[in-house]
Amino acid sequence: MGILHARGQHCLPQNSSPTHTVWRPTPSASLQAGLSMDFVAPVSELERFIQGWDFDLDDPLTLARFLLGNPASVEEAKLRLEECRAWRPQVDLPRLMQRWGYWTTAEKPPPHWVWQPQTPRAAAVAPYFFGRCCPELRTQSGGPVLVLRLGAFDLEGALRENLVEELMEPWIFMVEQTFQLCREVAFEKKRLVKLACIVDIEGVSFTWLQHLSVLQQFAKAINRHYPEMAQTLTVIRAPHIFTWLWEVAAPLLLEEMTLKKVAILGHDFREGLAAHAGVAAAELPSFLGGGGEEELVPDCPPGCTTRRPERRRTRRSQRIRRPASRPAGLCHRDFCFSPAGLVDNYKE
């Protein structure tokens, strides 16, 4: 059995099968759940729309997220609900979550998913993933914090070795983990709570512009399959040229509502991050100069002096199998992205 909350929320604990509930909000129930008055009628219409569905995201606060902050966007919300409903079983979300972590009912923070790969295959891929949800890190408004360290992501290596799909699973876990944490905090505070996303781009080169289609694959998992979650998106440690290009291009690419969520900061980002996202610098992960315990995707182990060598393109059948463990003193980025060593040796 899943964990079934009286408020109608559904969670997916470890080693369990999904249990679905049906929440039937009345206007008074919606107001008690924390909805503002202008969202009560649209949410009631969405409730009628999903009547009879076997769907676990049916509480008023979550349905309100599908309106994207606009009570008039009911028809768009219905399309997003249908896509979300179809996608979650397609990726077998309960089993995916159980491969990459476990559910905890700790009181502080509220019940949430914990990142801890549960299978040999997941454990092998995990060191090369580029982001984490930080369950104990909060914004001033109480929202969760998501940190992406794009500079530590060997994008070209992932493309070269056809490992983009392997990294999609931890990406989905991280997004779902953050989404469920947003829901838990929202239920606790009886109001919509959104996350702050911090994107560290130190080390990202402009060659990434050649692979925008790959980044779009990761973005698609959020844009069409999840409701609104982000309150702010803060890009930090950005070079000056990136800031200038963003100022020129962003008004042409993004809607005004989205632009208001984005801030571009350089290396001296601490005051700007606190002002924009409400995240105290002292609580950041250690690689950003904070006192956080969790290190996100370490760049190189201490004493590492080896750089990743250039490799000639070879057929997959000709590639040499890599050892299952990293040689002492060798950076994980110097031998990652070898399907033979990273994946084949960890078949479940």
Give the start-to-end residue ranges of the domains of the chain. 27-90, 93-288
Tokens standing for residue 209: 């512009």
Question: For position 254, what pLDDT does the model report?
Answer: 58
Q: How far apart are alpha carbons 269 and 42 in whole angstroms?
A: 39
Q: Indicate if the pLDDT at residue 44 is higher than 70.
A: yes
Give the residue with greater pLDDT, 316 vs 298: 298
310-319: long-range contacts, CB 8 A cutoff, minimum separation 24 = 311/160, 313/160
Tokens standing for residue 194: 């959104």
pLDDT-derived band at 289, boundaries 50, 70, 90: confident
Q: Indicate if the pLDDT at residue 42 is higher than 70.
A: yes
Question: For position 293, what pLDDT does the model report?
Answer: 61
State the DSSP string of 87-119. Answer: HHHHTTHHHHHHHHEEEE--SSS-SEEEE---S
**Pairing relation of β-strands 262-264 and 112-115?**
unpaired
What value does the mean pLDDT take over residues 35-51?
A: 92
Question: For position 256, what pLDDT does the model report?
Answer: 67
pTM of the predicted model as reported, rounded to 2 decimal places: 0.77
Question: For position 265, what pLDDT does the model report?
Answer: 93
Question: For position 281, what pLDDT does the model report?
Answer: 85
Domain 93-288 CATH superfamily: CRAL-TRIO lipid binding domain (3.40.525.10)
Question: For position 107, what pLDDT does the model report?
Answer: 64
What value does the mean pLDDT take over residues 308-332?
A: 39
Q: Reduce the DSSP state of residue 171 to 3 states and report it.
A: helix
